Amino acid sequence: MKNVLPELLRNRSEAERHCWARWVLGSHSDQFLPEMAAAVEQLNQQDPIELGDPVIAPGAYSDDLVVITCKQGQHGVIVDQPLGCRVVLFDWTGQGIAQSDNPQNWQVISEKTECKGELMESAWRQLDMPAEDHYVAFLDDDLCLRTSDINTVLALSRIHHLLAAQPALSLNSPSSREYPWLRQRACTSLHRLPIVENQAPFIRRDLLDLSMPFLVSTKSAYGYDRFALPLCAAELGDWRFAAIDCAPMSHLRPLGSVEQRFSNGLKSKEEELLVRQRLTLAMGFAVNEQDHEQLERAVAS
């Protein structure tokens, strides 16, 4: 079945559309990331993300959904307080989870997947998604954080009207050097981001549904965080992303999927190019048709 993409930014000014087109397809990360960071800093001067509104019992709501990636029940989430939301353990090996490795009796999906993108799409298709004002989180199996941190991220997401959020990276995390804008900052609850990273995104339902078609059939999820989420947030008129500094996370291993070649014959960066091309087409701009068709055939195989 052909993947139907939503239209993006078709009714915006040509200046805004061309700016996003350059960020999405026409520039390198050394260029678009600083420019996107400057853009959200300007947004923050107009509408400070640090200012929120009172919310009664703002933590995890019963219809929020947290998907914890695991290897036969092995993950890094520390249960230090109950979670009032739905939690699903997604065993990416497909070999199942012993009851002794699931003492909380959380719902289990066991399905062999190659990487985060395939897993996210599978969960999105299989699980009942919450209402639009609720959040869905996808946590990697090598993240060390507490259930109290999950409650904190969800609470601040509601108080500060965030479209997407993530725990800040602790300074001892191996990824904190690669992603300096995600590092935990002192003396603040949260700080504004141009992107949230695929490792632990908390995504509001309306943004999730708008952005997921651009991820469909990929294995790695590369490009989803840097391009699909911010562009779709701009379409919704609500580009409000933040790292939660008072709920940091650490990584238990370094990143390892950059050079991996998946069963579709593509590497992560090739899948990222496909995501970028899909977004460019959704804005009404042209891409190299031969390259695009070749990538689409690969992920459809």
Residues 157-188: tens digit of each pLDDT: 999 999 999 999 999 887 777 788 899 999 99
With a cut of 60, say whether residue 156 has pLDDT above it. yes
pLDDT of 172 reads: 87
| CATH number of the domain to which 142 belongs | 3.90.550.10
Please check whether residues 26 and 99 belong to one and the same domain: no
Please check whether residues 172 and 267 belong to one and the same domain: no
Residue 99 lies in a domain: yes
Please check whether residues 106 and 245 belong to one and the same domain: yes
pLDDT of 178 reads: 77
Residue 221 lies in a domain: no
Please check whether residues 179 and 90 belong to one and the same domain: yes
Please check whether residues 96 and 39 belong to one and the same domain: no
pLDDT of 257 reads: 62
> Range of 266's domain?
14-49+261-300
pLDDT per position as a tens digit, 56-104: 999 999 999 999 999 999 999 999 999 999 999 999 999 999 999 999 9
Q: How many CA atoms within 13 Å lie on the side-chain side of 15?
A: 0
pLDDT, mean over the chain: 95
Q: What integer is the mean pLDDT of 189-205? A: 97
Please check whether residues 171 and 201 belong to one and the same domain: yes
Please check whether residues 155 and 192 belong to one and the same domain: yes
Q: Are 292 and 277 in contact (CB under 8 A)?
A: yes
Please check whether residues 18 and 114 belong to one and the same domain: no
With a cut of 70, say whether residue 260 has pLDDT above it. yes
Please check whether residues 130 and 244 belong to one and the same domain: yes
Which amino acid type is present at position 72?
A: Q
Percent of the residues in the chain that have a pLDDT greater than 70, as a whole number: 98
* Sign, Cα dihedral of 236, 300, 72, 176: negative
Q: What integer is the mean pLDDT of 254-280? A: 90
Paired with 85 in beta bridges are none
With a cut of 80, say whether residue 256 has pLDDT above it. no
Residue 100 lies in a domain: yes
pLDDT of 72 reads: 98
Residue 277 lies in a domain: yes
Q: Are 203 and 137 in contact (CB under 8 A)?
A: yes
Q: For residue 240, give the nearest of 191, 280, 197 by alpha carbon.
A: 191
Domain count, the chain: 2
Please check whether residues 28 and 77 belong to one and the same domain: no
